[in-house]
Structure 1
Amino acid sequence: MKPFPYLQKANTSFTDREVTKIGDLMKEWDGETIRGVGLIGAHLSKSSISHSGACFAPGTIRKALSGYSTYSVEENIDLANWIIQDLGDISMHITDVIQSQNRIYETVQQLLKEHSSWLPVVLGGDNSITYPSIKGFKEAKGEVGVLQFDAHHDVRNLEDGGPSNGTPFRSLLETKTIKGTNLVQVGIRDFSNSKPYHDYVNKHGVTVYTMKDVRQASMKELMESSLKKLEQSVDSIYVSVDMDVIDQAQAPGCPAIGPGGMDAVDLFEAISYLGEHPMVKGLEIVEVDPTVDFRDMTSRVAAHVILNFLKGKQRGGLTFD
């Protein structure tokens, strides 16, 4: 018997032998073949048009995610056998935004080309990471369709401020990385966009569901019609979640909070449904600013977005063990 049986390492949390947490599944990538889910941080926020501490979000989202149980009591689904590898964070250039975006593009593209079977979950960072992430995803996965959950169109002109967190979808469309007809925007919010930018996405054939559409139709109906449209013309589908799509009461830690946003439960339902589809092969979460959050509320919501995505994947028959 140990002389002091009740002593343990400092800061050790309580452990229940009958509870498996996501943190028990998360392992640091060893540099060999990537299997299962791959978490990768893209902690860029110098490109935000307003103050943002989104560069700290990958860490807080990982921490929040690791503390939740693997078991979905609502659907009797257990993620306990999944493989979750943490690939670490992409190193950003200290001053050069373009160089930082290129690093994101090169890393995502190379990882997906060299390791084709893993499921990427990209943790931003601000919304500027979306352009290089999807560009790299497209080059590895073929023609890509995008489901964008966002309060904003994010098609600001590139002349006034250069590539920022307000321009990723402008860059994707202008460079023809994606076609406008292969982009679906969900949760676009009243008094958060300008008419010229709404006209721009309409001109490019983007499907836009405003918050009024979200309130008036079921989330399942919107996702079902979106997937039916995209699956006819793309090789794979990428889901981009800007956390400011959620109402400010439930996601206070966003640089661009506002009233009239989506309920977190509706977002979970949508993400879970999308995860079930075999063509949905990537997820990113952006615009969480832990420096203005309250008790990591927004990071916790982001963690549940990931959990619901994986739940949908398992419901659709995908497992990694």
Structure 2
Amino acid sequence: MPQYRSHHYRSYDGTELHYRVLGPPDSGLPPLVCLAGGPARDAAYLGDLGGLDADRRLIVPDSRGTGDSPAAEDPAAYAFPRLAEDLEALRAHLGLERFALLAHSAAAATAQAYAAAHPDRLSRLVLVSPGSRLQGELPDDARQIFESRAHEEWWPDASVAVQRLAETGDLDEVRDLLHRAAPLAYGHWDEPQRAHAATEGGQLNPVPRAGFWQSVDDRARETLLTALRDVTCPVLVVTGDRDALSGMRAGELVAASFPHAQLRPLHLVGHYPWIDDPDRFRPLLDTFLRTGEAPLS
């Protein structure tokens, strides 16, 4: 596990929320704030993002009801637009006029809500394996990616698990089924992927997860998407061609929502590119964070 320093900040409603800081305290590079997806999965699964903390500080908050942050008294506080308000409180606490933001998977919705509300606060925005629910389209290419791997030995059991996940609400069974279905989220199913997947069951937070998409109707969604056209900072969207959770088409839709987005698909990479191919993921992000441009290979 990466070494980190533990901190707290006070959010807009007075709640003390937790965040971790990884990386060298005396780094001359701007820090990167990193949001975990799930939704509402403990942020520990981000690790050090494939060694991205070697030269810069990573600031990793625990959203409400996850990790070391307390549960919300009002379930509405779990909705992603409210989590974006927590992020603004964290920015103020850190004393950052502008900052670089990375969001993985479902947290891309939180990041987009923040960008829409505070476009002048972002210097860079990185969205890794995003879904496109905000864009109003749920592409089916993730299923196609999954089906294309039917020849792999883990596939039959994973396929059964995926079907049963849609039919059960028992948390213990959900944890077991998620572990059986885990290979579909990775580009390979080797020891690093197995070790990473083994942590998921203990990192689930069902109540915050259930509240993540609440109170966001079509009108609010369209207003948010309109506001994204005013986001002028460089945006990088990273997808993997073996991501059978989000697929690749979702990333295309998300990138098209911004005026200055660069889309970088990675070959033989799944939902967690820093696990599948850290040696490509890390320099891609490092170059983008330094220059605002993402190399093509």
TM-score range with shorter-chain normalisation?
Answer: 0.3 to 0.5
How high is the TM-score relative to the length of structure 1? 0.38
Which one has a bigger Cα radius of gyration?
1
